[in-house]
């Protein structure tokens, strides 16, 4: 079966309720028995067939009752309201794992674990992220607030630089580790303080992560 040609390249901030570093990255169980997360990306360059996706932001909230691979997850996607109808449809196909080789991207992997997909929302999104400085902020009025910052030394408060390298990762090859906070008021109501955060430059096609 042929797949639609697509590419998505940009910067990401993700934060979850687990301890710094996130056990999932090491094939371990979540720190507190469940997984709740907020993921945001700004597409710097992208397309789905002839539909241009440059300079669009999307955010997703997730809640799994146990480890991600054990399933029964819930998800809601937010796409920047400036996206056209064609851009919205294209992004939803990508984010739902369609037009992708099975297991090749985080979208495909996560889709296989979701049992309840809430209606997508098309809303103004304020998102800034600096991968190298390990700083981020995500805001959707009345729905979501998330932030990321460096992990700081308990001795003198100096920012600590920690990187995780996953040569065969389905989300990123390398990411900066940090501290994350979030609270949501949408269909999925979740919150976490002083949990895991990571900052990465992403590059995907339907065949997987471009390295």
Domain ranges of the chain: 6-209
Of 107, 142, 147, the residue nearest 124 (C-alpha): 142
pLDDT band at 186 (very low <50, low <70, confident <90, very high): confident
Residue 1 has pLDDT above 60, yes or no: no
- DSSP secondary structure, 68-104, as one string: GGG--EEEEEEEETTS-HHHHHHHHHHHTTTTS-TTS
Mean pLDDT on 82-104 = 96
Q: What is the pLDDT of residues 6-24, one digit of tens each?
A: 999 999 999 999 999 999 9
- Rounded average pLDDT over 137-153: 97
For 6-209, CATH number out of 2.40.160, 2.40.400, 1.20.1050, 1.10.357 equals 2.40.400
Give the span between the Cα atoms of 37 and 64, in whole angstroms. Answer: 9
Query: What's the rounded Cα separation, in Å, for the pair 205 and 94?
Result: 9
28-70, pLDDT tens digit by residue?
A: 999 999 999 999 999 999 999 999 999 999 999 999 999 999 9
Please tell me the total number of residues recorded for the chain in this structure: 211
**Res. 3 pLDDT band, cuts 50 70 90:** confident
| pTM listed for this prediction | 0.95
Distance CA 95, CA 103 (A): 13
C-beta of residue 92 within 8 angstroms of C-beta of residue 75: no
Distance between CA 52 and CA 117 in Å, rounded? 25
């Amino acid at each position: 079966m042929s797949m639609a040609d697509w590419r998505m390249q940009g910067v990401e901030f993700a934060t979850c309720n687990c301890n710094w570093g996130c056990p999932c990255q090491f094939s371990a169980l979540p720190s507190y028995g469940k997984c709740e997360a907020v993921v945001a990306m700004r597409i710097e360059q992208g397309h789905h067939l002839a539909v241009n996706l440059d300079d669009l932001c999307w955010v997703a909230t997730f809640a799994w009752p146990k480890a991600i691979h054990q399933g029964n997850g819930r998800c809601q996607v937010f796409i920047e309201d400036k996206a056209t109808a064609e851009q919205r449809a294209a992004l939803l196909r990508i984010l739902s794992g369609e037009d992708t080789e099975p297991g090749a991207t985080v979208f495909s992997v996560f889709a296989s674990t979701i049992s309840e997909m809430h209606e997508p929302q098309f809303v103004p999104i304020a998102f800034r992220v600096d991968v190298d400085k390990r700083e981020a902020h995500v805001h959707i009025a009345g729905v979501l607030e998330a932030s990321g910052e460096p992990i700081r030394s308990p001795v003198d408060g100096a920012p600590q630089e920690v990187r995780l390298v996953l040569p065969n990762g389905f989300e990123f090859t390398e990411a900066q580790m940090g501290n994350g906070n979030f609270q949501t008021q949408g269909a999925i109501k979740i919150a976490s303080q002083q949990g895991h955060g990571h900052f990465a430059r992403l590059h995907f096609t339907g065949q997987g992560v471009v390295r």
